Structure formats: structure tokens, C-alpha cells
Amino acid sequence: MIPITSARREEDESRATPVEDRLAEFLAFLRRRLAGEYEVDEFGFDPELNDKVLLELIRPLYRHWFRVQTLGLANVPDETGALVVANHSGTIPVDALMLQVALHDEHPKHRPLRLLGADLVYQLPVLGHLSRKSGHTLACPEDADRLMRKGELVGVFPEGFKGVGKPFAERYKLQRFGRGGFVASAIRAGVPIIPCAIVGAEEIYPKIGDLRSLARLFGLPYIPITPLFPWLGPLGLVPLPSKWMIEFGEPVRTDQYDPEEADDPMLVFNLTDQVRELVQQQLNRLRLQRGHAFPPFF
């Protein structure tokens, strides 16, 4: 017969096991980092740091604050390269981070998304370094081609700052998709283009104005005025808890074209316009499916 004190001790140990496991995992992670026993690819991507630290910091936003619902993951390939083309919005590019979590956590193969970022991101020392560590790289054709040929999942927001910084009155209306450089890269690599619609980001920081003079002083594309910022100071930077939906549409194939056709401006323009129209249609449909941005409050 087992003594009561022994049984209680075993019960206490079993209760402490999850905490001990997390502590042991953290210490092992710390030991590997200090010993330099981790891998970084040629672009600076650090998969372990990205999963265990960077994504872990923003997962609560994804799961509990924005309550993101992801659709159409079957359209994203398991292993081969592809180009995810998404709308961009939200005043601050939180949508890029949520898209990254969606593909890493929800996709059956937990695929990392290699986002193509603007020059401004890499001019900022801390932000640029963390972006590289999380798998992002500069939005240039050379890097995009190399990543897709390696079988990576590359993400791009063709609207750029025009999309993320547009006023609230123009929400969910796609801006121009640039010159179609992303389409040319996909054709050269022979990978599919996956149109992606993100609904929810438009409501987190409703932009109603712009501090243009101050933005020029700091070399920024804009400094927004929202219903809460700058009036509430740092509290105004807390995003509103809108309901999000992310949908991956059916792939647009490019493997029927020769790589040399990437230099045909008419072909690139037509394919760019096709992808833009597909994303806009997805946005319109997804907005209706989501309903109110702040259920059950409105």
C-alpha cells in the first residue's frame, strides 16, 4: 500500500511537470543560442528564433485579440515554391505579421512565409535585423527569384505604402499594384501566384488624417491620425479588436509561360491586373461573410 504522503508527492510532481517541461525547453533553447548551435540561411532567416520567440510574441494577437479565421489553406502548396499576393492595409502593417502566423501555425506543413519588405524597413537597425531573422528580405527581383527557385513560400503586398496608409474612407478598395514585378518573378521561377484576401486589418487603426509635416521631418511616408491617436498617447497605439479573416484563393498558374516571357510588359500587365481583380473579388465576398467588424458589440 502506497503511503498518503508518497501519493501526494507524486501528484504534486505530476502537476509541476508542464512547468518543468517549459523551463527545460527554455534552458535548452538558451544553451543552443549561447553555444551558436542554430542555423541561419543566406538571407539571415533564423527558423528557431522565429518560431520560439518572434512568432510567440504575436500569437496572442492572432488567436485571442483578432480571432483570425483562415480559409483556403489547401490552395497553398505543401513543399514547392509559390508567391502569395495579398492586399495591404491597417495603417501599421500588422497584417503582414498575422499572415505569417497563419501560414506557419495553420498550414499542415507549418510553412514559413518569406515576406518581401520595403527599403524603409531595412534602414531601421533593430526592425531591419528582426525582419531578416523572421525570414523577410528586401523587395527586389533577385531575392524573390532566388527564394522561389529554392521552393520557398514568398509573400508580397503590391500596394505597398499606398495600401497600408490609405484613409479609412477607402477601406477594402485596392490601390494600384505597381508595375507587376512580382508577376515577372513568378513567371521566371515557374511558380503559382496565390491571391490572398485579408479582412479585418482596415479597422484596427482607422486613419482619418495625416501629420504630413511631421512625417516629412522623420522621413516617413505618413504619420496617421486615428480616433485614438495621438489623443490618448501610447494607449492610442493599441489596435482595435476587429474580427479577422484570411483567405487563400485558387492559384494562378505561370508554368505555361516561358521564363523569357517575363520580359513581355503586356503579358505582365494583364496577369497583374487579373491577380488584382481576383483579390478584390475575394475581399468583397469575405467582408460579407465576416459581417460586423466588432461582433458582438456592433
Provide the CATH number for the domain around residue 259.
Answer: 3.40.1130.10
Number of domains in the chain: 1
> How many CB atoms are located within 10 Å of the residue 147 CB?
25
Q: Can you give the length of the chain in residues?
A: 298
- pLDDT for the residue 2: 47
| High-pLDDT (> 90) share of the chain, % | 71
Q: Is residue 22 in a domain?
A: no
Q: Is residue 16 in a domain?
A: no
Q: Is residue 225 in a domain?
A: no
Give residue-wise pLDDT tens across range 189-245: 999 999 999 999 999 999 999 998 988 888 888 899 999 999 999 899 999 999 999
Q: Is residue 54 in a domain?
A: yes
Q: Is residue 42 in a domain?
A: yes
| Residue ranges, the chain, pLDDT below 70 | 1-16, 297-298
Q: Is residue 4 in a domain?
A: no
Strands 69-71 and 245-248, sheet pairing = parallel
| Segments forming the whole domain that contains residue 263 | 38-204+239-289
Q: Is residue 25 in a domain?
A: no
Of 86, 167, 92, 158, give the one whose Cα is nearest residue 127. Answer: 92
- pLDDT for the residue 107: 97
Q: What is the distance of C-alpha 143 from the center of its chain?
A: 18
- Cα(193)–Cα(82) distance, integer angstroms: 6
Are 118 and 136 spatial neighbours (Cβ–Cβ below 8 Å)?
no
> How many CB atoms are located within 10 Å of the residue 214 CB?
12
Q: Is residue 109 in a domain?
A: yes
Q: Residue 125 belongs to what H/E stretch? A: helix 125-133
